[in-house]
Chain A
């Protein structure tokens, strides 16, 4: 990753234009060609410096339901439970964290009913209660990372 890659990452975490030739527009800001910008984004994706390029959709505004949930899982049962939780298509992310509430996952469903069903299924199959923590209010979601 060179200085130009860093500049692209820092400048382009939002604001990519919606226009006939958006790459050409952005490339002009960096004094490079459209082809070079496309090649650099492609290679940053390939090298996993970027995890995505494109529009970030707001799941709840698409009518879906998104919730953070946690479970207290004893160490000796952790792998079994992780397998059950990860196998569910409704689980988008799942993290182990250093806390008594040791497993934290994001449930993304298209309806609130599907959300409730998924939670019940996890509780039934794992045998542990789920602490559901749907957001009450969002103050900020964005990335401001500096490359």
Chain B
């Protein structure tokens, strides 16, 4: 487990001011600083620190999959021996079509899968080809897998902290 780096009230205000996006103006961090009531240097220093600690994963654009033509978004789920999942997880996560990749608990007998990889293709055949590539990489460690396509987005909001 990663140690939890403490965030204080000012960090929290910076997060609240930026979690739905950075201001689209020439000096966005200065705008955040005015909103929070601290100096721009302090906002930048704190955000740099949050980048280093991993509190901020990255700063940039988040494309909409569908708008870029990635219409087939498959949650691929795999039954992999527990003792191999860490090593294989790192290798599958490095594939360029995998956007998220996790070890999760099984729920036997209904749900034997302990490894999840989200893959993105322009259509289902492309996703199926990606799944074959993952299966080849896993080899004998692939004791069964499925692709669950999303059929409908029922709700999608950003991950937010409260005010």
Contacts and interface: CB of A to CB of B under 8 A. Distances in A.
Interface of A: 8-9, 12-16, 18-24, 34, 38, 41-42, 44-45, 47-59, 61-64, 66, 68, 70, 72, 82, 85-86, 91-101, 103-106, 108, 110, 131-147
B101 A138 contact: yes
29 contacts: A16-B22, A38-B26, A41-B24, A50-B61, A52-B20, A52-B21, A54-B22, A55-B18, A55-B56, A56-B56, A57-B19, A68-B116, A86-B154, A91-B155, A94-B156, A95-B151, A97-B75, A97-B150, A99-B148, A131-B107, A133-B107, A137-B86, A138-B100, A139-B101, A140-B93, A142-B99, A144-B96, A144-B99, A145-B70
Interface residues of B, number: 78
A12 B60 contact: yes
B145 interface: no
Interface string B83-119: 0011001101110111111111101001100001000
B78 to A, nearest CB: 12
A63 B4 contact: yes
A51 B62 contact: yes
Nearest to A106: B159
